[in-house]
Amino acid sequence: MSTPLIEVANICLKQQQRTLLNNISFKLEEGEIVTLIGPNGAGKTTLVRIILGLIKADSGTCHQRKGLRIGYMPQKLHIEPTFPLTVEGFLKLNGRHSRNDIENTLSRVGVSHLLTQRLQKLSGGETQRVLLARALLQKPQLLVLDEPVQGVDINGQREFYQLIQSIRTGQGCAVLMISHDLHLVMAATDRVICLNQHICCSGHPDDVSNHPAYLELFGDNQQEFALYTHHHDHDHNIDGKVVKCGGDHA
């Protein structure tokens, strides 16, 4: 077996006497889609920032496979209004990409018409696509997405998940994604990790596309979504099929 892309072991982080992460260990294998969920303040973004090498954990190890190319899509992009930058200029910042490469990547994410637009003029959804294009130009083996569908309506989410899945199929890259929604994750997710300072549970999201409540909510033929059911020690329980949980619920 090949070495995992990412291997974190026993990660702990405290900030001002508050435990943010407690003994986190998991591996991310090639081509795998992993969704990280958890309530607000669970430490999802913090964990991803440790994996990306942006902050250091107090203890524990985080190994990246040697030469791993990561495409990172941050949650937000704030560009100073005084910065005269077009989409093309923005995409050229991380390497010498040919015009052709840039145009292909933009049309891949469905925003080829934005090439000469000012970054500051893009809508939220457009900015997100452009950020994804920049991540893809890295020819990543791992795509890290920080709440990619935040503030996107349900149809937009479906389109985005379709896109991510086709990118995974086409490029074979692994995907690590933070989801802001506890119950709605991408159907193509191989593994859901539920975080609340520690890893509460992890496993395959159930195939619930036939669940009556799901069908009622979104209609038929919505294979991009799946419901991931939760069993916590607190009040997040909902009815539905149960995903196998780790026995470590404190």
> Residues in contact with another protein, total (CB under 8 A)?
25
CA–CA distance, 50 with 93 (Å, rounded to integer): 24
Residue 57 binds another protein (CB under 8 A): no
* Maximum Cα interatomic distance, the chain, rounded to a whole number of Å: 54
CA–CA distance, 48 with 70 (Å, rounded to integer): 12
In the chain, alpha helices (H)? 44-51, 87-91, 99-108, 124-137, 154-171, 212-218
Nearest to 130 by CA among 140, 151, 141, 116: 116
Residue 154 binds another protein (CB under 8 A): no
Residue 70 binds another protein (CB under 8 A): yes
Residue 82 binds another protein (CB under 8 A): yes
Residue 14 binds another protein (CB under 8 A): no
CA–CA distance, 135 with 144 (Å, rounded to integer): 9
Residue 93 binds another protein (CB under 8 A): yes
CA–CA distance, 128 with 62 (Å, rounded to integer): 28
Using the contact rule CB under 8 A, the part of the chain among 46-54, 157-165, 196-204, 215-223 near another protein is 46-54
CA–CA distance, 69 with 138 (Å, rounded to integer): 7
DSSP state at residue 118: B
Residue 130 binds another protein (CB under 8 A): no
| Closest distance to another protein from the beta carbon of 196 (Å) | 24
| Closest distance to another protein from the beta carbon of 83 (Å) | 5
Residue 100 binds another protein (CB under 8 A): no
Query: Closer CB to another protein, residue 14 or residue 241?
Result: 14
Choose, by CB under 8 A, the member of 16, 18, 40, 80 that binds another protein: 80
Strands 70-73 and 142-146: parallel
Residue 90 binds another protein (CB under 8 A): yes
CA–CA distance, 155 with 125 (Å, rounded to integer): 12
Choose, by CB under 8 A, the member of 12, 77, 163, 245 that binds another protein: 77
| Closest distance to another protein from the beta carbon of 84 (Å) | 5
For another protein, the binding residues (CB under 8 A) are 52-54, 70, 72, 74, 77, 79-80, 82-86, 89-90, 92-94, 116-118, 134, 138, 144
